[in-house]
Amino acid sequence: MDVSGKSPLKIEKLVKKYGNFTAVNEVSFEMKPGEIFGLLGPNGAGKTSIISCLVTLQEPTSGHCEIFGYDPKVNPEYTKVLTGFVPQELINHGFFSIEEILVFHSGFYQRWHNKERIHYLLKRLGLWEHKDKKVKALSGGMKRRLLIAKALVHEPKLLLLDEPTAGVDIELRASLWDFVQELSQDGMSILLTTHYLEEAESLCDRVGILQNGNLRTVGPTRELIEKLTERKVHVFFDGVCNEEISSPYLRNREDNQAEFVIPHGVGVGDLIADIQCNVHKILDIKIEEGSLEEAFVHVLGEHQ
């Protein structure tokens, strides 16, 4: 199926209610081909509910979703082959070995004779030596990796990862994110949810922040951070500097250093010029950029 150039995911005014409770409230956003998109938000924000609508596990109450131009409700036969899905909850198939599960899963996705791909994924995800075990004999992190292998057997064009690294140790998490990046470089579009904001910051091209079912903001990760956070500038002086510093941005002043917080848009040069300090007395300048976590906290705080 040729999907080049089409938007991998488009959500318009999606609403999901459970009874009277609104879990997702008129959420709209669109993904760009090949990007890694982070859907962030505290527990219960509605991330899983959105993904469930995309994979037909839940029916939207109203609104519209499109995967490469196809509505999952109208053309599931297309959206399902195009999508790989890693659920948040661990599965526990009782009867079969890891390899058998992957063989069946390939078949469900219309692929027979898929050994090569299955073996590649088993090795890539560090499950090769466990391939003859049953699911219940795996640790939580291994089960998580099995879920990822399952989602990839049919080489989907859009990958939906609902907390793929929950319960995975640091080292493996890093290698999983490497893998995600590699998939993205091969042209796969990826939507992920995670509570590890530092990792989201380095990984995601764009993020959306959900709170109580409302999409509070969406945009390129760097831009959001710049817009929503401030930079910290530490100026270190050579020896004790007794000069009076008057600047609206000054936060903290000690004998041989000063700390400023400047909004984006104000340059560091402007700041230095502004404080009228003898440039020769400045030993060092350290700039701390804002983080996604700060932006996140800021966005959630705005709507308390």
Residues near ligand ATP, by CB under 6 A: 18, 23, 41, 43-49, 88
Q: Where are the alpha helices (DSSP H) in the chain?
A: 47-54, 76-82, 98-108, 115-124, 140-152, 170-185, 197-203, 221-228, 268-275, 292-302
Which residues are registered as beta bridge partners of 237? Answer: 282
CB atoms within 10 A of CB 102: 25
The DSSP-derived string for 108-126 is HTT--S-HHHHHHHHHHTT
The structure tokens 């069946």 sit at 104
Tokens of 248: 């609206």
Under rule CB under 5 A, residue 88 binds Mg ion: yes
Question: Minimum CB separation from other proteins for residue 52, in Å?
Answer: 8
Please, what is the minimum distance in Å from the beta carbon of residue 86 to ligand ATP?
Answer: 13
- Looking up tokens 């989201």, which residue turns up? 200
Name the residue with tokens 């669109």.
Answer: 30
**Segment interacting with Mg ion (CB under 5 A) among 48-56, 98-106, 109-117, 209-217:** 48-56
Residue 103 Cβ vs ligand ATP, minimum distance, rounded to whole Å: 30
Q: Select the span of 103-111, 205-213, 219-227, 272-280 touching other proteins (CB under 8 A).
A: 103-111
The interface partner of residue 85, options being ligand ATP, Mg ion, other proteins, none and the CB cut-off 5 to 8 Å by kind, is other proteins
161 beta partners: 86, 192
48 makes contact with Mg ion (CB under 5 A): yes
Per CB under 5 A, 212 contacts Mg ion: no
**DSSP for 8-36, written as a single string:** S-EEEEEEEEETTEEEEEEEEEEPPTT-E
Q: Is residue 69 within 8 Å of 83, Cβ to Cβ?
A: no
Q: How near is the Cβ of 52 to ligand ATP at its closest, in Å?
A: 7
CB contact at 8 A, 209 and 296 = yes
Choose between 94 and 301: whose C-beta lies nearer to other proteins. Answer: 94
| SS3 of residue 217 by DSSP | strand
Q: How many residues does the chain have?
A: 304
* In the complex, minimum distance from the CB of residue 91 to ligand ATP, in angstroms, rounded to a whole number: 16
Q: Which single residue brings its beta carbon nearest to ligand ATP?
A: 48
The one segment of 100-108, 184-192, 202-210, 254-262 that binds other proteins by CB under 8 A = 100-108
Minimum CB distance to ligand ATP, residue 18 (Å): 3
Considering only 4, 21, 112, 171, the residue that binds other proteins (CB under 8 A) is: 112
Options 27-35, 49-57, 218-226, 282-290: segment touching other proteins (CB under 8 A): 49-57
Residue 119 contact partner, candidates ligand ATP, Mg ion, other proteins, none, CB within 5 to 8 A by sort of partner:
none
